[in-house]
Structure 1
């Protein structure tokens, strides 16, 4: 066991320091976050050293190649790992501090400095990772804006109202349906298909990508920020698929000022990127449209199209639409 206190214990068998770290962690101490991150890096370094020892076992022989030597060698490696993590280390501890929220209980990052901890959003805990495509979705430089087919003033959206009203499936559908209908006209896609895709990407609005300070990015379609994107972005943990194997990482996603901007950028993307030509050609058929999106590389998830279809055919969307169609506040057409 590698024991270390938030007060920088220097010996790997310091169990008293480990108990102090446990106590500090109960009070959400930023020192405890940093100490725990260094502990994790020390464990990683210890595993690395152990693997290096095993890789050379076939070349060891002689008087000192015995269990006793290996025992004390293991103790020395544990101390070496702890010492390395307390010095410059590999940088893993710093990354962990950023992800675990090392700044939230202490002082804020310096102004103008990029980064900061990704906040733990209570509303988004049920959807901690986003299954997104590995191919960056980007707008070709210099392309003109493709307007949505919406009459001026027909739909008025305020960002604050968007966030407040999209707290459940019914509120989510009510909020974005007018925009989905307009985007559907521009793309030739049924609005329910776009609502289903947005619901899959955001967990019905509860798992939207957010800025480090908690503000929503209003990114309904999981569009990544490629090199051509010059607007604001937000970084979140993701799950990518390579040859059918899932792997975790961190990606940057585009940030908008409202859901209307998100829909407009989605329409622009599909109408200007030649990869989605087949998707638009079969836009009138939901299965053909979502299948062509997946084949074009919109997402690396091998089941992306079937997941959209499952939301589209599921009872949650069907019930939400039924509630809204029966209501008097904003009937769906």
Structure 2
């Protein structure tokens, strides 16, 4: 007789819970089958929540590694609660994997012809394999795949990627470095500088209309740091006819202005590039280099 398994309040990534499920699985316990299916449902819901979090820009004042850690813990508990109430996935897995258990009880190596499990491609080892997957792939890491970038990152890259590649060839700076800076300056395109009539300036780098600029101009409020204290003021910014023009002007600014010689010299190093921009006075935000480095490494280098 197998003791009742209760994993309703904990993820099966816990070693003790894994041990209980494995022991029950060896005895072909229906309870183990149900508990495993529910854990997979919780894992799936956690991946959904993680994808939703990644699709939401998180560059606020209170965002930090600590806040992300507690958000991840909250999402794990939330997904477990949702799975305990059921969204239907566990029931489907239980029905399909039950044929594996039946085959094992009958001493058969294969699955019943035409069974749902056979149609789905399950083998008799799926139950133990499932337990192993949960042990080595915790929910917080399972959703982190290189091909699963957040939607806003993919959209931003699709919109500006070609212009960034052209500027990269002119400066030697990797396109993702410039995309990262454009993302930081424009809030991934959500805070692009616009004229009073709503006309887009295409100025995703926040370049001000100084240095003998004779082109179009837009005025807007911006935040500047004076002795580390943020101040809001109205400034004039350059306006372009396209994103391609904005990237070309940005490339000229960095290659022609002696202030940015160190930036060009460290064009291949993320940290050197970001710190070079801050030291050259590109922005007054004291945390500019750290923010830019984080965006490039976490959002554009996966």
Instruction: With the length of structure 2 as denominator, give the TM-score of the two structures.
Output: 0.49
Please identify the structure whose Cα radius of gyration is greater. Answer: 2
